Amino acid sequence: MTVSKSFQWIEGRRALVLATALTSLSAPALASEQVLDTLQMHGFLSQALVITDDNNFFGPSSEDGGSLKYTEIGANVSLRPHENVLLAAQVLSRRAGGDGNDAKPVLDYGIIDYQMISNQQRTVGMQVGRFKNPFGFYNQTRDVAFTRPSILLPQSIYFDRTRSLGLSGDGVSLYYEEMLPSGTFRTQVGIGQAQAGDDLRRTMRLEDAPGELEPRDSAIAQVKYEHDGGRIVAALSAASAKAKFESHDPVLNNGDFEFVPWVLSLQYNSEHWSLTGEYAIRSSKLEGFDNPFLNFDVTGESWYLQYTRRFHDNWQWLVRYDSLTSNRDDRSGSAYEASGAGPAHSQYADDLTLGLQWNVSHRLMLAAEYHHVDGTGWLPVQDNPAPSETSRRWNMMLFQLSLRF
C-alpha cells in the first residue's frame, strides 16, 4: 500500500486507492487545525452465507442451511501531522470458520509513512511498522469486499487457509513511483518479519506439537507497470517468508520453514470488461525435524484466468478458472497418497467460478457466486480435520452482504 500526501480514500468500483500528491518536500509543517482536517476514519462490514454439498468451508457449510461463520469487520484511521508524513492503521476482526477464536480484533496494518520526494515526475518514500505485502493484484486490499472482484479471491494465489503468511510484515518498506510518457512504473520492497499465525501451523500439521512457531526475517518485492492510464497492467512479485518451529519436545527437534513464491500478474481493462490472469511458482520447504515424515521440500504451481463484465452501471458478473497444484512432481497426488500421507485429491484443486455483484448504493453491495471444484487442495484444515473423509468433487454457493462507511 503506497500512500500520497493528500491521503484521500477514493472508493472506486474496483479498488480502494490513494490520491497522488503534488506538494514539495520543503513545505512547512501543517498547523494543528490543518492536521485535524486530515483526520479520516472509515470502516466496513461483510457477512456471508456459505453452502456446500460436500466438505466444509468456513464452518459447517455442508450441514443444515450452511454456515454463517464468514464475517469481516474493520475500521481504519489516518492522520497527516506533516505533509510529508502520514500515520495510518487498520484494525480487523475476521471470522472464517473454525471455533471463532480468529475473530479477535488484530492490527491489520499500522504504518508511519514518510515521503522523501513527491512531485509530478516521481515519488519516493518509506513505511515503518506493519505494512501490507505487495503481492499480486489484490493482496494489499483483500480484506475489503468492495475491492475484490468476487467474494473469494482465487484460492490458488491468495490462500485463505494460510493467509497470515502472505498478508503483512513487520519492518520497513521502501517504494518508488515514476511517471513515464506511456504510463506509470512502481516498485516496492519490504524487509521484516512475516506473520506466522495458527493457520500456518495447522496447515503444517503442527497444531498438536509442543512448541512455538516464530517468524524470521523475510523479504518481499514487487515491480508494477500501468500502461495508458491502467488499460494494461503488469506486475512481478517475489518473496522469501521464513519461520522457525522451536520444539518443546527434545525428540522432535526444531524445524525451519521457508516459503518462496514468484507471481506474474497481467490485466487488460476496457470500458465494460476486464481480463485478468496470474501465474505463480511456489517453493515450500520444512527441514530440521528428526521425524522425516514432517519434513518436506516441494514446488507448487498456481494460475487463474478471470473475465469480468460490468453492465447497468452498478452490476458486474464474473467467470474464472482457477488451478492449484501443490507439487509439480506429483500433479495427480498419486505418490502422496501411496506414501500414506493422505488422499490424492488433497494435492490439487481446479475451480470453476461464476459470480455476480450488485452495488445497491455507494455503501451497500450484494454478491453471490458458485464454485464447482475438483480437488481439496485449498480446503481449510480446521474445518476438515480428517482429509480422508473429504470428497474430491464438490460444489459451493456463497452469498454476501457488504457495508462501508
Provide the pLDDT confidence category of residue 303 given band limits of 50, 70 and 90.
very high
- Which residues does residue 239 pair with via DSSP β-bridges, in sequence order? 220
Where is pLDDT greater, at 31 or 255? 255
Mean pLDDT of 31-48: 86
| CA dist., res. 259 & res. 243, Å (int) | 9
Where is pLDDT greater, at 253 or 342? 342
User: Is it the case that residue 24 has pLDDT exceeding 70?
Assistant: no
Q: What is the pLDDT of residue 241?
A: 86
**Whole-model pTM?**
0.87
Cα first-last separation, the chain = 20
Q: Encode burial over 261-288: b for 16+ CB neighbours within 10 A, e otherwise.
A: bebbbebebeeeebebbbbbbbebebee
Q: Which helix (H) or strand (E) holds 37?
A: helix 32-37
The conformation of residue 328, written as its DSSP 8-state character, comes to G
Q: What is the pLDDT of residue 288?
A: 77
Spatial CA neighbour of 171 closest among 107, 127, 222 = 127
User: Is it the case that residue 2 has pLDDT exceeding 50?
Assistant: yes
Q: What are the backbone dihedrals phi and psi of residue 67, each rounded to the nearest 5 degrees, phi first? A: -120, 140
| CA dist., res. 70 & res. 252, Å (int) | 35
Provide the pLDDT confidence category of residue 1 given band limits of 50, 70 and 90.
low
User: Is it the case that residue 339 has pLDDT exceeding 60?
Assistant: yes
| CA dist., res. 255 & res. 249, Å (int) | 12
Mean pLDDT of 148-163: 90
The conformation of residue 27, written as its DSSP 8-state character, comes to P
Mean pLDDT of the chain: 87
Share of the chain above pLDDT 90, in %: 63
Of the CA atoms within 13 Å of residue 81, those in its CB half-sphere come to 5
pLDDT tens digit string along 345-386?
999 999 999 999 999 999 999 999 999 999 999 998 888 988
Where is pLDDT greater, at 160 or 25? 160
